[in-house]
Chains A and B, each alone.
Chain A
Amino acid sequence: MLLLTTRELMRRRMSLLQYASWLVLWLGLILLGTVPQFYITLLHITQALGMLTPIHFVTTFSILILFVATYILGKRIAELNEKVSTIAQHIALRDIGGKTQRSRQQEENPS
């Protein structure tokens, strides 16, 4: 997944900020898988934050991130919807504007 994400960045399909967010996630997972002792360190950190186990921290933090992501995506969709609607209206008005202009020209120059 890390390679796929990097490929997306290389192909300029992903912003640097998005890439950095995914990179942190993938590296964290790799670290947890390859260095199990890391879990013990995490346990200390999460207990210091008042949570029983790292999984509590991960779950709580993930939910928080998901809420933020939902909010940002909703806002972005609304903005895109507004833009698409404006473009659709612009095209409709441009089309009728062009037709009116053509019919006026035909009236002026019937030949």
Chain B
Amino acid sequence: MRIVCIIPAFNEEQTISQVVSEAIKHSDQVLVVDDGSQDRTAELSRKAGASVISHILRLGTGGALSTGFKAALEEGFQALVTIDGDGQHDPNEIPTVLNPILKDEADVVIGSRRLKKSGSTPLLKWIGNRALSIATSFASGTKITDSQSGFRAYRREVLEHAIHKAWDYRWASEILLLAAKANFRIKEVPITQIYLHKRHRGTDIKDGFKILYSTIKPPEKPEPSRESKT
């Protein structure tokens, strides 16, 4: 099974080299989607051995992943792993996240930070994540403990069926709802949480409400992937 690791990245020059170097050990190809970075993210990613797709402007995490998924489908990969470029996920846990796909136990695997006690999460983020996970679980009919995790694995068929339309953080719940609606199997595995205290980005309260709204009211018509168009 050909595996690609997709890393959405925006101004991650501090961490991207290490993430790519580690991720490349566990996949056939690492694809960094440089989401309009102003620093050396793209250059360092290439040096570390990744293929790089660059957006001319910043689209958001959802947009970067959407581009990565389309490119990976075009290249014929059978399994796709997504991991954050800021070092909040341990690339050495890629096999853990990928395992249920390889064993044909699931079609979508979420690396859940809630299933493994490691590190502390700020209270507000914890409440927000719990609320969104409960809403996503309710809407999808599958128990999900970490609906906002970016560390995931997908079987190709899931993304051939549909790719999320949201360009921002709403992608995380949207793609789960699309997969659940199409009866794909969703499974969670525990992953280590590396909370970055200096991190200023991530979902805020406004994003939280947007995600919650999109969970209650999922898009009527999902965007078909490039593969299914042809």
Contact = CB atoms under 8 A, between A and B. Distances in A.
A and B bound? yes
Interface of A is mostly: helix
What interface size band does chain B fall in? 10 to 19
Contact of B66 (A84, A89, A95, A100): A89
A93 B70 contact: yes
B55 to A, nearest CB: 5
A88 B59 CA distance: 8
A97 interface: yes
A89 B59 contact: yes
Contacts of B53: 92-93, 95-96
B75 interface: yes
Interface string B43-86: 00000000101111101000100110011001100000000000
Contact of B56 (A91, A96, A97, A100): A91
A85 interface: yes
Contacts of A97: 74
B71 to A, nearest CB: 6
B34 to A, nearest CB: 9
A89 B57 contact: no
What interface size band does chain A fall in? 10 to 19
A85 B167 contact: yes
A105 B53 CA distance: 20
B223 to A, nearest CB: 10
B75 A100 contact: yes
Contacts, number: 35
A95 B67 CA distance: 12
Nearest to A91: B56
A69 B32 CA distance: 41
Contacts of B56: 88, 91-92
Contacts of A91: 56
Q: Which of A85, A97, A100 has most B Cβ within 10 Å?
A: A85
Interface string A76-95: 00000000110011011101
Given A97-B74, A100-B75, A92 B57 contact: no
Contacts of B63: 85, 88-89
B36 to A, nearest CB: 8
Nearest to A97: B74
Lowest 7 A-B CB distances belong to which pairs? A96-B53, A92-B53, A85-B59, A89-B67, A88-B55, A92-B55, A88-B56
27 contacts: A84-B57, A85-B167, A88-B36, A88-B55, A88-B56, A88-B57, A88-B59, A88-B63, A89-B55, A89-B59, A89-B66, A89-B67, A89-B70, A92-B33, A92-B54, A92-B55, A92-B56, A93-B53, A93-B67, A93-B70, A93-B71, A93-B74, A95-B53, A96-B53, A96-B71, A97-B74, A100-B75
